[in-house]
């Protein structure tokens, strides 16, 4: 009897072992490959696979590669392997997961980190949405295996079919225009299904795979080719990233690696939360929000993050609340998740050669974790640059986020912040009459007054519009106001960012949907009868605007007066706002009539920057002006004089 029991026990053990072995399947490893020679020699491998957590051992005999630790997470379907590659050389490493062997590539870097040059105030960034800019040749009509989607250009909030090859095929257009860097909204996989009311994640801000370009945009190889060809033409590439949240369809949502991988995930397990567990959106038939749920929505208020009097609930709502129900909020205080995200940035820099990062929803994530990310990035790539979206319209707020700020107890290590004060004040001033105190260009003057708060004002990014705002033209075509805004943007002590299509008078507002400020670039898609990529295809007014802006952009390139020059501004006088830039005996003078009436510039008032100069050229018209006498300006006239 004992023998029968013993045999039975052995058979059951064998069955259990075989069963466990069958469950230990490796689906993928992230990063998909890695690089030797980094200052931080440690790499975290995140292994996905059913039952992989319980694998008996992980080993390798690859020379110079040492497994530091194995971390078994809450979910049985993930395993973290931490390795030290300090003495490893490029090659194919074999990893042994129990009896399963996996080949893993260690690569040689193209260059050392200090040789990667980021964007600076010598650049002008051109921001575009890949889905809305241009469609390249051989664009697939449908990608098999992706969740339900359609490409329908008649629907402003569905995908339209732009892609990376479409951008690459128009690199010469950017050169002709005169911009020097391209910032795309995120290009990574967003495998979320279209909603029933015709909304899609065409914008790219709902990542479902951090190591894969969305197939509708192209492949990783297409992204690399685009970066390489852009570099050959002297153009930089800035990658849009999101550490605050992922897409709902990322595997982490339905199978969290750890219980604290997401912030406030409790509602995901509620059976009657009133939210669709497949999409995160409200499942109520009438479209109303759930009456009671553990779901925590962010307040979208960013001030509690720096408020010395902030309540715990306000701070919690800001950083732990979800941006929207379909975008799970990532917990950057989980050290394994943060290591994953840091490595992801390094991988894209090394793999495709991006020249900068724009970090979305920056203050919504934990500040100390983001500082850790940037500190490591700055150490590895000292000349690289990252800009964070810090959407508060007070200079004191954004200045506190910039690296080495004395306004913050802890260093953010964020080199560039976005100047939402400039955007906000210029938007208000757009249709105002500049008076003697507060309105019109006084708002801009009073915003620049606080540049003493910034450790580095020349590393602040200014803009007049972007994908989240109304276009500067609104629903109109006021080119005088637009020219004043652009003349200011491109001559002040900032890193300027343009929004695609402004050069050909694209307009629109968000009153109905964000899609109306994200329209397709004319001529970018098959069947377009209006083509703004060529002089012949533009209307007379479009060509006039393109020529005007292109002249200004090319004049700005390599212009040390604008890049390195001292800035002097004068309080608006007689409705006229004047800013001077001076460097090594040369001057650029931006003069804006901020009224709808003719105005007189009294040149004696500006003697400290004009000096004995009597003749100056307007770089916008090539007309010369006599600076020995007062100047008469037309309504809303813009001048950029150099001498």
HEC string of 9-61 equals: HHHHHHHHHHHHHHHCCCCEEECCCEECCCCCCEEEEEEECCCHHHCCCEECC
Q: Are 157 and 515 in contact (CB under 8 A)?
A: yes
Beta strands 34-35; 100-107: pairing state: parallel
- The 10 Å Cβ neighbour count of residue 249 is 24
CA 97/CA 67 separation, integer angstroms: 12
Catalytic residue among 389, 419, 451, 542: 389
Based on the residue annotation, tell me whether 350 is a catalytic residue of this protein. Answer: no
Report the length, in residues, of the chain.
643
Q: Are 32 and 213 in contact (CB under 8 A)?
A: no
CA 185/CA 539 separation, integer angstroms: 28
Q: List CB contacts of 519: < 8 A, sequence separation 6 or more.
A: 132, 156, 501, 506, 508
Q: Are 180 and 198 in contact (CB under 8 A)?
A: no
Q: List CB contacts of 504: < 8 A, sequence separation 6 or more.
A: 522, 532, 538, 542, 545, 546
Selection from 590, 550, 548, 547 nearest residue 568 by Cα: 590
Partners of 95 in beta bridges = 102
CA 141/CA 134 separation, integer angstroms: 15
Selection from 381, 331, 341, 343 nearest residue 83 by Cα: 343
Rg over CA atoms, the chain = 28
Catalytic residue among 360, 376, 451, 503: 360
- Look up residue 148 and give its two tokens: 């339900």
HEC string of 588-639 equals: EEEEEECCCCCEEECHHHHHHHHCCCCEEEECCCCEEEECCCCEEECCCCEE
- Look up residue 576 and give its two tokens: 């006229």
- Look up residue 547 and give its two tokens: 């020529």
Give the CB-side neighbour count of residue 524, counting CA atoms within 13 A. Answer: 27
Selection from 80, 75, 29 nearest residue 258 by Cα: 75
CA 261/CA 590 separation, integer angstroms: 51
Based on the residue annotation, tell me whether 465 is a catalytic residue of this protein. Answer: no
Q: How far is CA 469 from CA 18, 108, 297, 464, in A?
A: 58, 42, 22, 9
Q: Any idea which residue has 């976005």 for tokens? A: 418
Angle, alpha carbons 40-43-47 (nearest 5°): 170
CA 531/CA 522 separation, integer angstroms: 5
Question: Which residues are known catalytic residues?
Answer: 360, 389
């Amino acid at each position: 009897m004992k023998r029968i029991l013993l045999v039975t026990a052995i058979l059951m053990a064998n069955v259990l072992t075989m069963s466990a072995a069958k469950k230990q399947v490796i689906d993928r490893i992230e990063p998909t490959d890695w690089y030797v020679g980094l200052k931080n020699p440690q790499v975290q491998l995140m292994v996905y696979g059913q039952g992989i957590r319980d694998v008996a051992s992980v080993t390798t005999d690859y020379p110079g590669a040492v497994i530091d630790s194995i971390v078994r997470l809450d979910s049985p379907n993930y395993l973290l392997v931490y390795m030290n590659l300090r003495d490893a050389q490029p090659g194919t490493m074999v990893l042994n997961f129990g009896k399963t062997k996996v080949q893993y590539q260690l690569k040689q870097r193209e260059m050392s980190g200090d040789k990667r040059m980021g964007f600076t105030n010598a650049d002008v960034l051109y921001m575009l949405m890949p889905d809305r800019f241009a469609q390249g040749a051989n664009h697939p009509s449908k990608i098999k295996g992706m969740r339900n989607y359609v490409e329908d250009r008649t629907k402003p909030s569905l995908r339209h079919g732009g892609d990376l090859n479409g951008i690459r095929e128009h690199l010469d257009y950017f050169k002709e225009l005169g911009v020097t860097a391209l910032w795309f909204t995120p290009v990574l996989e967003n495998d979320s299904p279209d909603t029933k009311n015709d909304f899609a994640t065409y914008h790219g801000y709902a990542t479902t795979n951090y190591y894969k370009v969305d197939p509708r945009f192209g492949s990783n190889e297409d992204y690399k080719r685009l970066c390489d060809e852009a570099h050959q033409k002297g153009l930089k590439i800035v990658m849009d990233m999101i550490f605050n949240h992922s897409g709902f369809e990322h595997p982490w949502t339905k199978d969290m690696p750890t219980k604290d991988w997401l912030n406030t995930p409790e509602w995901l397990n509620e059976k009657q939360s009133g939210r669709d567990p497949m999409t995160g959106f409200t499942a109520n038939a009438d479209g109303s929000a759930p009456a009671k749920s553990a779901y925590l929505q962010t307040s979208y208020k960013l001030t509690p993050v720096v408020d010395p009097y902030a309540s715990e609930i306000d701070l919690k709502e800001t950083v732990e609340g979800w941006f929207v129900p379909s975008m799970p909020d990532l917990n950057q205080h989980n050290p394994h998740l943060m290591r994953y995200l840091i490595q992801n940035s390094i991988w894209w820099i090394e793999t495709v050669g991006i020249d900068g990062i724009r970090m979305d929803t920056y203050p919504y994530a934990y500040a100390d974790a983001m500082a850790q990310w940037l500190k490591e990035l700055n150490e590895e790539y000292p000349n690289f640059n990252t800009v964070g979206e810090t959407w508060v319209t007070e200079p004191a707020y954004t200045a506190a986020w910039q690296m080495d700020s004395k306004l913050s107890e802890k260093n953010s290590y964020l080199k560039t912040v976005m100047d939402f004060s400039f955007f906000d004040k210029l938007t208000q001033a757009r249709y105002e009459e500049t008076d003697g105190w507060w309105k019109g260009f006084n708002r801009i003057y009073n915003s620049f007054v606080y540049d003493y708060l910034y450790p580095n004002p020349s590393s602040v990014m200014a803009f007049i519009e972007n994908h989240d705002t109304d276009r500067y033209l609104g629903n109109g075509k006021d080119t005088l106001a637009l020219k004043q805004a652009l003349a200011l943007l491109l001559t002040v002590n900032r890193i300027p960012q343009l929004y695609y299509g402004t050069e050909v008078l694209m307009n629109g507002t968000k009153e109905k949907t964000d899609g109306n400020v994200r329209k397709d670039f004319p001529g970018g898609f098959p069947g377009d009868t209006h083509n703004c990529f060529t002089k012949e295809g533009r209307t007379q007014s479009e060509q006039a605007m393109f020529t005007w802006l292109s002249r200004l952009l090319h004049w700005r390139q390599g212009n040390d007066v604008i890049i390195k020059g001292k800035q002097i501004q004068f309080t608006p006088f007689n409705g006229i706002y004047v800013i001077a830039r001076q460097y090594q005996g040369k001057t650029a003078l931006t003069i804006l009539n901020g009224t709808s009436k003719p105005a007189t510039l009294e040149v004696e008032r500006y003697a400290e920057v004009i000096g004995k100069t009597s003749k100056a050229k307007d770089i916008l018209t090539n007309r010369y002006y006599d600076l020995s006498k007062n100047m008469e300006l037309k309504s809303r006239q813009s001048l950029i004089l150099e001498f």
